[in-house]
Structure 1
Amino acid sequence: MAVDMEAVILEVVSALPPGKSASSEEVARAADPENWRRLTGHVRGAAKGLARQGRIVILRHGKPADPETFKGVYRLRLPDAG
C-alpha cells in the first residue's frame, strides 16, 4: 500500500486546534490503523521534508527542533500564524 505520508501529516495536523501537536504514532495510525508500526520511519522522513519547507514544525520537549539534527520522541504541529 503506497501512502502519501506528507498528505497524511498535513491532514492530521490541520485538524488539530491551534497550538496543539500530534505524535508520530497518531500520524502513522491515521495512515494505516492496522499496520501503523511499520510506518513510523516514513512519518519521520516525511516530517523532516515538510519541516525543511516550513510547512510544519517538529517539536522536542515542546520546543521547535532542527529537522536535520533532532533525535528521539517528537511531535508535529503547524507553524504559528504570523
Structure 2
Amino acid sequence: MSDPIETAIFEKLSTREPGKSICPSEVAKDLQPEQWQRMMPKVRTVALGLMRQGRLTITKKGKAVDPESFKGVIRLRLPTEQETAEAQARRPVSAPDDADLV
C-alpha cells in the first residue's frame, strides 16, 4: 500500500508543468487542512526519503540541496535525469542475499 503523503506529493506535482516545484505546505494542507502544520515534519521526512531514492528533488532557492545537510524553506520537484543518476550512485550497494550465494 502506498504512503498517502507520497501519493499526495506526486499528485500535486502531476498538476505542474515539467520543472516546476511545489511547497511542502501545499501537500500538508491537502492532507490535514485544519492542522497542516503538524503534517510538515512528516511531509519533509517522506520527501527526503524520496530524494534519497532519486524519485524527488528538494530545492532551496531553485537549486538542489544536499539531502544530508539542508534546513529551512524548501520546495519539491521531480528530478532531472542527472539528479536521478546521482541519487542512485549515492545509494549503498546492498549485500547479496544468502540465496544468491547458493
TM-score bracket, shorter-length normalisation? 0.7 to 0.9
Q: How does 1:29-48 map to 2 (within 5 A)?
A: 29-48=29-48
Helix, strand or coil for the counterpart of 2:34?
Answer: coil
Instruction: Quickly say closer, same or farther: Cα 1:81–1:14, change in 2 above 3 A.
Output: farther
1:10 alignment partner AA: F
- Return the offset for 1:10: 1.4
Q: Name which structure has the greater RCO, CA cutoff 8 Å, separation 6+.
A: 1
Computing the radius of gyration from Cα coordinates, the structure with the larger value is: 2
Helix, strand or coil for the counterpart of 1:46?
Answer: helix
* % identical aligned pairs: 49
Q: Aligned partners of 1:15 and 1:68: how far apart in 2?
A: 28
Task: Decide which structure has greater helix share.
Answer: 2
Q: Aligned partners of 1:11 and 1:28: how far apart in 2?
A: 13
Does the CA-based 8 Å contact 1:24-1:75 persist in structure 2? Answer: yes
1:78 alignment partner AA: L
Q: Which portions of structure 1, spanning 4 or more consecutive aligned residues, are displaced by more than 6 angstroms?
A: none
1:54 aligns with 2:54: yes
Task: Decide which structure has greater strand share.
Answer: 1
Give 5+ residue unaligned stretches, structure 2. Answer: 83-102
Q: Aligned partners of 2:7 and 2:46: how far apart in 1?
A: 9
Give 5+ residue unaligned stretches, structure 1. Answer: none
TM-score normalised per structure 1: 0.87
Does the CA-based 8 Å contact 1:24-1:44 persist in structure 2? Answer: yes
Q: Aligned partners of 1:78 and 1:37: how far apart in 2?
A: 23
Equivalences, count? 80
